[in-house]
Amino acid sequence: MKRIAVLTSGGDAPGMNAAIRSVVRVGYVRGVKVIGIYRGYRGLLEKDFRQMLPRDVSGILEKGGTVLKTSRTIEFKEEKKQLRAIKNMKEKGIEGLIVVGGNGSQAGSLALFKKGFPTIGIASTIDNDLWGMDYTIGFDTAVNTAIDAIDKIRDTAESHDRTFIVEVMGRDAGFIAMDAGIAGGADIILVPEVKFNINEIVDDIKNGMKKKKMHHLIVCAEGAIHARDLGKIIQERITIDTRVAVLGHIQRGGSPTRFDRLLASALGEKAVDALLDKEKGKIVGIKSNKIVLIPLEQAVTKKKKLNLKLYKLARELSV
Ligand code: F6P
């Protein structure tokens, strides 16, 4: 392979830049031309291509976001768009594509592979919901951002004897809520994977108050319940001062942690080497501290399970 391309797609994640930098520089060292595709699959359809050299990725390791920009290109699900993308790459002499992104983005990569184009994925999403691996790029930074916010909210919750509901990201997955909830000392954690009963939440708070616990902290994933809705219910059922904080997109930005920078650098190298070794239709990730290659089909279609032991621990710690 003499020419490969890289794009970032879907929701951005801190560490994507570190992955781009690694792909560009390792590609250069291995003697292949690396083409950056801007704005994800949209740029692939609109031929927004630029060659990237080692100096083009200087000063981005510590930056959040993605210098290649990103998009959610819903129409890429259409077969004719996928065929056009392959045609665009072939016209430019591109022989392999590295897709940095989460579930939806890797589904696009899988579609291109099934149409005969060599692709390798790099697992990157703050949601951490890709099957077959322990962590995705951006998750660690997002969780640390959430913990920082929860710590600050606790200060004011405690001072005012208030109940706070902190909503974190995760439409379908509770990985951020679980980790940030436990590390932030939440009393109750709500995730999409585990059914919950509002009456039990209300009882928990009432029992806490009986035990002289005057402030409570609930961390919920956006996919479990919206903080505003839960806040209203709690306020109606118990006469306590309740406030809500929706952390939203601050979890997607900021300088990547040491872990995300190291992970992104290692995955970038592995992705380039995989393509050069004629691997395709796979995604690189980290499993039990080893960099592994997993078939895209499995990573995209299988549902990654939340560690329910952590759920039990969270309950025990909030006694
Ligand atoms: O990238 C994943 C994610 O951050 C989810 O946790 C969240 O539900 C979604 O993206 C938000 O997407 P958007 O930025 O397109 O509104």
Phi, psi of 114 (to 5 degrees): -65, -20
**Angle between helix 308-317 and helix 175-183 axes, rounded to 10 deg:** 30
Rounded to an integer, the average pLDDT of 84-91 is 98
Nearest CA to ligand 1 atom 3: 11
Question: CA-to-CA distance for 65 and 137, rounded, in angstroms?
Answer: 12
Residue among 12, 48, 56, 127 flagged as catalytic = 127
Is 319's pLDDT higher than 90?
A: no
* Ligand 1 mutation target, pool 16, 105, 124, 126, most atoms within 8 A of CB: 126
Is 315's pLDDT higher than 90?
A: no
CA distances from 193 to 130, 182, 280, 303, 308 (A): 15, 16, 32, 11, 9
Rounded to an integer, the average pLDDT of 264-275 is 98
177 ligand 1 Cβ < 6 A: no
Quote the mean pLDDT of the chain: 97
Question: CA-to-CA distance for 108 and 102, rounded, in angstroms?
Answer: 10
Minimum-distance ligand 1 atom for the alpha carbon of 13: 1
Question: CA-to-CA distance for 205 and 90, rounded, in angstroms?
Answer: 61
Rounded to an integer, the average pLDDT of 169-187 is 97
pLDDT score, position 311: 86
Domain covering 141-252, topology:
Rossmann fold (3.40.50)
pLDDT (tens digit per residue) in 103-133: 999 999 999 999 999 999 999 999 999 999 9
Is 76's pLDDT higher than 90?
A: yes
pTM for this structure? 0.97
Q: What is the domain partition of the chain in residue ranges? A: 3-138+256-301, 141-252
pLDDT score, position 318: 87
CA of 251 to the centre of ligand 1 (A): 10
11 ligand 1 Cβ < 6 A: yes
CA nearest neighbour of 71 among 12, 17, 6: 12
CA nearest neighbour of 140 among 306, 20, 259, 288: 259
170 ligand 1 Cβ < 6 A: yes
Beta bridge partners of 8: 100
Question: CA-to-CA distance for 167 and 159, rounded, in angstroms?
Answer: 21
Q: Which two tokens stand for residue 69?
A: 């920009």
Identify the CATH number of the domain defined by range 3-138+256-301: 3.40.50.450
pLDDT score, position 293: 98
pLDDT (tens digit per residue) in 190-249: 999 999 999 999 999 999 999 888 899 999 999 999 999 999 999 999 988 999 999 999
**Tally of residues, the chain:** 319
Equal fold, 3-138+256-301 vs 141-252: yes
- Asked whether 132 and 198 are in contact (CB, 8 A), the reply is no
Tell me, yes or no, if 203 is annotated catalytic: no
Question: CA-to-CA distance for 283 and 302, rounded, in angstroms?
Answer: 14
- Asked whether 112 and 218 are in contact (CB, 8 A), the reply is no
The strand order across the sheet containing 49-52 reads 49-52, 33-37, 3-8, 96-101, 119-123, 282-287, 290-295
pLDDT (tens digit per residue) in 276-307: 999 999 999 999 999 999 999 999 999 999 99
